[in-house]
Amino acid sequence: MPESHDPRFKGRSEQPLAIRLVHWCNAVFIVLMAGSGLQILAAYPSLGPRGAQYWWYPFQGMSPPSWMRLGAWLGGGRHWHFAIAWFFAINGAIYLGYVFLSGEWRRRMFIPWRDAGGALLQFMYYLRLRKTPPPEDFYNGLQRLAYTSVVFFGLVMVLSGLAIYKPVQLHFLTLLFGGYDGARVVHLGGLALIAMFVASHLVLVAMHPREIVTMVTGGRHE
């Protein structure tokens, strides 16, 4: 990726060690959380309370395929999910702490007034409505939007997951998501958004395989 124009990043590697560690741990945790979450979903693969299932959900009663599931049965899926949830959440907290304390947020996070225009132009470039991509500064605007959004999705997953896990003890959280069944909708919707992120992430990485090396070695120093 292009160098950052920001002199604060002189001498720093493209992907500092903390980012690389958190990234690869997160890749493992997301797979485990998704698999065990789908195992839990399979016990009641519907949205909405009994007797008032949501009319708009097109997959009522449809279980996720067994190859996507982890844990073999509902209890096993719960054990995996509630075990890895801690690691997923703590890993996310380490990422946020590092990104803000190190100043990395300046070249990674989406700042609307700085990045919105670039994100739009990059999107038009991908749609072939523009011949050339807009100039990049470490990341382009669309990358920043994607990487910032997925961190937000992760936070929503932790909070909506807690709301489902303890809908009485953490009732204030459950209310925030429109109640227990609302929190299940948000939690499954969050999985869908994260899955879409991962799919496009993998496509783009396949188109720029050097970035895999960078995410392992850290890349060049700026």
| 207 forms part of the interface with another protein (CB under 8 A) | no
Cα–Cα distance for residue pair 211/3, rounded to 1 Å: 14
Residues of span 167-196 touching another protein by CB under 8 A: 167-171, 180-181, 184
Taking the complex as a whole, the smallest distance from the CB of residue 18 to another protein amounts, in Å, to 25
Residue 82 binds another protein (CB under 8 A): yes
The closest alpha carbon to 154, from 30, 47, 25, belongs to 30
Q: Which is nearer to another protein, 18 or 74 (CB)?
A: 74
Minimal distance, residue 86 CB to another protein, in Å: 7
Q: What residues contact residue 24 under an 8 Å CB cut-off, 6+ apart?
A: 215
Beta strands in 19-147 (DSSP E): none
How long is the chain?
Answer: 222
Q: Is 80 in the site for another protein (CB under 8 A)?
A: yes
Question: Between 74 and 96, whose beta carbon lies closer to another protein?
Answer: 74
Cβ nearer to another protein, comparing 81 with 107: 81
Cβ distance to another protein smaller for residue 41 or 119: 41
Assess 74 for contact with another protein (CB under 8 A).
Answer: yes
Residue 44 makes contact with another protein by CB under 8 A: yes
**Residue 166 sits in the site that holds another protein (CB under 8 A):** yes
Report whether 173 contacts 162 (CB < 8 A): yes
Which of 2, 10, 49, 195 contacts another protein by CB under 8 A?
49
Which residue(s) pair with 139 in the sheet? 137
Out of 41, 70, 142, 191, the only residue in the binding site for another protein (CB under 8 A) is: 41
Rounded Cα gap, residues 122 and 3, in angstroms: 18
Structure tokens at 15: 């992907």
Tokens linked to 18: 């903390």
**In whole angstroms, how far apart are CA 118 and each of 113, 137, 198, 204, 211?**
10, 10, 22, 18, 21
Cα–Cα distance between 30 and 145 in angstroms, integer?
Answer: 20
**Least CB distance to another protein at residue 41 (A):** 7
- 42 scored as a contact of another protein (CB under 8 A): yes
Binding site for another protein (CB under 8 A): 40-44, 46, 49-52, 72-76, 78-80, 82-83, 86, 166-171, 180-181, 184
